Structure 1
């Protein structure tokens, strides 16, 4: 949890362990949160500002945004979620879930199918979205499907996940599935 100055005001056990390791997250002398990746840290700053501005426009409503941090300076690829908490103007939660792919891609598809009642094709789509593929064209290329087919599967996936955007879908899947702390490599067959 961060206050309006990005000072850490609360952290769970997993977050504390990560701050101690310093692999993805670290803090400065003033207790402000930073990502170890320079690109990721810049994206975090911009996303925090964007979420807080959205919260100011609609007080009392939760706001969320996610971004992908590319592999950078020894830091692996990761997804970062910034959740603005309704009822406050500046308090946000930052979450960096473990990404499950590579040799566990089959397990990931199985988990998505089981949790959300997805078909095998929809589970492959969800796995590709969690791997950082976001546009329909990019997803179609990654999955070897037509863009039209992917767009149709995205609509069906939204209904099953009870969401209306790709960001919401990624947030929902990653918050419920990825903290299982399985293999976090992002390379491999989808």
Structure 2
């Protein structure tokens, strides 16, 4: 594909919990669980409600426009009483912490950052899931440098033109041994990728 033919470059990011349910680590007499996203790595989970955080940035070189989208999934907690009763609570984290910085346009590239910070609204004093991605987008590819927490799973993809999504980076806490306590404190992981 020749460089001048590419008009759109899309970056997609998401965080998710692969299990259907995970235990709530809060001290309680009742058994409590949080609903996970019940999925594996895929660039096609946007707008399905199967991510804790989802974000997209689209660079349109022909129109010189930049559009962005960010959202959070619904948090669901269920508790089971000793008598067999089940109580369900739901909440949705604010998407205010999911944003892109204003893009800086040059002759051959666009530079911006993707940020995400969102907390479980059903937990008192929660630590947020965080990532930051610095991106340089050209018509023929991207360069990224990012940081993120150790939990949950993180995925970053790029689509050049209307071709298939390519994986930029994935983090699977099941492979690294990270747990939900990794949400507290500074971001533990750094990465770089380019296409």
TM-score, normalising length: structure 2: 0.31
Looking at secondary structure, tell me which structure has more helix per residue: 1
Looking at secondary structure, tell me which structure has more strand per residue: 2
TM-score, normalising length: structure 1: 0.31
